Structure 1
Amino acid sequence: MTDTLLALSTERCRIAPLIADDARALAAIIDETVTSQIDFLCEPFTESDARALIAGSGGGDVFHAVRSVDGAALDGVIGVHRRAGGHYEIGYWFAARSRGRGLATEAVRAVIDALAASRPGCSIVAECRPDNARSRALLRRVGFVSTGLGGRRRGRMLLAWRAAPLDRIDVC
């Protein structure tokens, strides 16, 4: 894997880097529910802003389109952000119409698994607002645990991905 995940697919999702032709669809899925959570997205987020985000994707910050396997509509975006020292940060947002169906969990898990497989020993982190219960739950489902530390962005907590599943019960 280069800094871009070339293409992934899951049972219900296709995941590939955003391209210039995605600008209109990207602007359409970014509303106040998204811009209020992601500090680098402006409100309102226009098609011009989407073009700029896509044009800047690559190298250390790569944004991936998530689409259903049976449709062309943009359901969400997953960002993979390279940080110093072999660390990667994952971020995501999904269209309001796509939330609550498990697509985000499935797609984020696929990206995490591909990143971990292609970068053995890398550290994968995510930042989340403590009051964003749905996002915290998604991150936990895919293997993130709280570090007890604040994130780089104000008001965020830092979570780290662990390869072992968290759904098991250990007996002592």
Structure 2
Amino acid sequence: MTDTLLALSTDHIRITPLLADDARALSAITDESVTSQVHFLPTPFTESDARALIAGSGGGDVFHAVRDRRDAALLGVIGVHRRPGPEYEVGYWFAAAARGRGLATEAVGAMVASLAASRPDCAIVAECRPANQRSRALLLRLGFAATGEAGHRPGRMRFRWRAEPDYRFDVC
């Protein structure tokens, strides 16, 4: 996504551009459980680091805030990264307090649906560490499939989103 997302809403969250005013909240939700997984985030991730990430958002790397619909609290971040060819990569991280509630599935699903609708000729990809079972399960729930290829980042596997699953359950 090379332009800024205006806004997306679901039942529980809103996805909006990250703003300079979000720096303190962004630094608060980006703890070592996040920075140990996201190679470009320093540990500790300070408010200054958050300001730099927000200031650099745009062009080929756009970071979006995932906010609680009720109180606008920052729950997570979704990055959309333009890759060579007709391809976009999605990445995400969520506050420890927001995990396990289905919010990441809801938010990333909304982002993927928006990307697919606005750019139907582009591939949507993600990378995940094989040991990160929760993230892998999220990607599979959303219709991503492992490609069998190594990701660009060390220790990651590449996943590609499919509009239609390759399988159907007609009888259970």
TM-score bin, normalised by smaller chain: over 0.9
Q: 2: distance between equivalents of 1:20 and 1:109?
A: 25
- When the two chains are superposed, the root-mean-square deviation of aligned CA atoms in Å is 1.5
The 1-side partners of 2:10 and 2:168 are apart by 23
The answer as to whether partners of 2:78 and 2:93 remain within 8 angstroms in 1 is yes
CA gap 1:55/1:163 in 2 versus in 1, 3 angstroms: same
Tell me the SS of whatever aligns to 2:42.
coil
Deviations 1:123-153 (A, max 9, x none): 0000000000000000111110000000001
1:72 CA drift (Å): 1.9
Q: TM-score, structure 2 length as denominator?
A: 0.95
Q: Is the 8 A contact 1:141 1:166 kept in 2?
A: no
Quote the Cα distance in structure 1 between the aligned partners of 2:163 and 2:108.
14
Counterpart residue identity of residue 125, structure 2: V
Q: How does 1:4-153 map to 2 (within 5 A)?
A: 4-153=4-153
**CA 1:166–1:66: 2 relative to 1, 3 Å:** farther
Amino acid at match of 1:79: G
The total of aligned residue pairs comes to: 171
Structure 1: gaps of 5 or more residues: none
Q: 1:11: Cα distance to partner?
A: 0.8
In structure 2, the gaps of 5 or more residues are: none
SS of aligned partner of 2:53: helix
Post-superposition offset of 1:169: 2.1
Deviation (angstroms), 1:3: 2.6
2-side partners of 1:119 and 1:58: how far apart? 17
The answer as to whether partners of 1:127 and 1:151 remain within 8 angstroms in 2 is yes
CA distance in 2, matches of 1:145, 1:170: 20
TM-score (norm 1): 0.95
